[in-house]
Structure 1
Amino acid sequence: MSDAWPWIVVAGLGAFHGLNPAMGWLFAVALGLHRDDRRVVWFSLLPIAAGHALSVALVAAAVVSLGLLVDGRVLGVAAGGALIVWALCHWRYGSHHRVRVGLQTGLFGLALWSFLMATAHGAGLMLWPALMPLCFSGGAAASASGSVVPALAGVGLHTLAMLAVTGAIAITVYEWIGLAILRHAWINLDLIWTVALVAAGVWLLLA
């Protein structure tokens, strides 16, 4: 179980990110409704996943690069502090600085929007507690190649979980529920997201 938990966390965070409407499913549904075509909902999922994956992959690359140069404990403390600061900034300013992309955007614009939203929300930073033991199990990695493979696998697993949940919610809302439900059954996921960032930061500081 101790070896499996980082993979479970990576997949679980992917599902959590897919649940957040800011990560893409709301945009996919809106595009489908705007163009009155369910295929648009399906096609939108690929650039949304690609943009999210690129944002997370850049953070994974930072984990690998810094982990080869900096002591693991120092890196953990720095990452924990960064997560808490990011959470406070997101709580204070996040709702005032949203990425604006029109419903007429193409696939490239949608991928760019997804990348910027994932980056602004600190989606990749949230993976640090799980990526560090994946990339540097048993201490520092012997070489860059020894940490790159698990990092890529982690990003892939995270993206697949995110894509599965995003797709399931987008299609369900588009086909059966409709966006009107958001007026009556809205959950403040921004607050949950902020708490999750703080929790991950504290875990890294205390680990």
Structure 2
Amino acid sequence: MGWPLAVSAALMERRQGALWRALAALGAGHLLAMLAILTPFAVMTVLLEWQRAIRLAAGLAVIALGLWILVTKRHPRFLSRVKPSRLALWSFLVALAHGAALMLVPVYLGLCGTEPDAGHRAAGMLMRDTLSIALAVALAHTAAMVLAGGALAWAVYRWLGLAFLRMAWLDLERLWAASLVLVGAIALATA
């Protein structure tokens, strides 16, 4: 969801180059967040012994976060007013908070159920065997995020502009919170 900040940077500077610099900063922050989550798991595969406790704790944490988002009425406004020079830090923090890499950890640790399918087993085996696979996964995920967000940001900046964003802004906060509660409940039920 960093693409509106890229549009904002380009609109503030009145230059398309600002959009690309903002996307690069967002991509850098997102990649660092992915690596911050994936690297410890690449190094510490001993955590497999604690998989049930981890699944229970993660499920409870995800439910707690979802409930907190549902109870709070407003998204923190300071998160939407970010200077272009701080986009990498913003992207890093938001990717950590939204669990960008956490969705890959269950596959990485082989926690996808009692009998994972062949694809999950292969992915888990590859990711446990080498740190370079974790890096490749982080790079592929970051590239997909930057390409998708960049295409959207460029289209809004180029053709639709700020008036469109004011008119068509979609608040998915409650849907996000409900999905967190649901995923946490599923994690608890399957632990």
- Partner residue of 2:17? 39
* 1:96 correspondence with 2:81: no
Q: 1:71 aligns with which of 50, 63, 81?
A: 50
Deviations along 1:135-154, whole A, 9 cap, x unmatched?
A: 99659x78x96153443232
- Partner residue of 1:3? none
Whole-angstrom CA distance in 2 between matches of 1:173 and 1:134: 40
- Partner residue of 1:181? 164
- Partner residue of 2:150? 167
Q: CA deviation at 1:101?
A: 5.0
Would you say how many aligned residue pairs link Structure 1 and Structure 2? 181
Q: Provide the identity percentage.
A: 35
In structure 2, the CA distance between the partners of 1:62 and 1:92, relative to structure 1 (3 Å rule), is farther
Q: CA deviation at 1:56?
A: 2.4
The answer as to whether partners of 2:6 and 2:153 remain within 8 angstroms in 1 is yes
Q: CA deviation at 1:184?
A: 2.8
* 1:54 correspondence with 2:7: no
> AA paired with 1:52?
H
Moved more, 78-87 or 172-181: 78-87
The answer as to whether partners of 1:86 and 1:122 remain within 8 angstroms in 2 is no
| Larger of the two Rg values belongs to structure | 2
Q: CA deviation at 1:80?
A: 1.8
> AA paired with 1:168?
A
Deviations along 1:93-134, whole A, 9 cap, x unmatched?
A: 47136436554x42xx22112112223334333444444439
Moved more, 130-139 or 30-39: 130-139
| TM-score of the pair, normalised by structure 1 | 0.71
> AA paired with 1:173?
V
| TM-score of the pair, normalised by structure 2 | 0.76
The answer as to whether partners of 1:48 and 1:110 remain within 8 angstroms in 2 is yes
In structure 2, the CA distance between the partners of 1:56 and 1:76, relative to structure 1 (3 Å rule), is same
Q: Unaligned regions of 5+ residues in structure 2, if any?
A: none
> AA paired with 2:60?
G
Whole-angstrom CA distance in 2 between matches of 1:27 and 1:90: 22
**CA RMSD for the aligned pairs?**
3.2
Whole-angstrom CA distance in 2 between matches of 1:83 and 1:120: 11
Q: Unaligned regions of 5+ residues in structure 1, if any?
A: 1-19
Moved more, 51-60 or 117-126: 117-126
> AA paired with 2:30?
H
The answer as to whether partners of 2:62 and 2:181 remain within 8 angstroms in 1 is yes
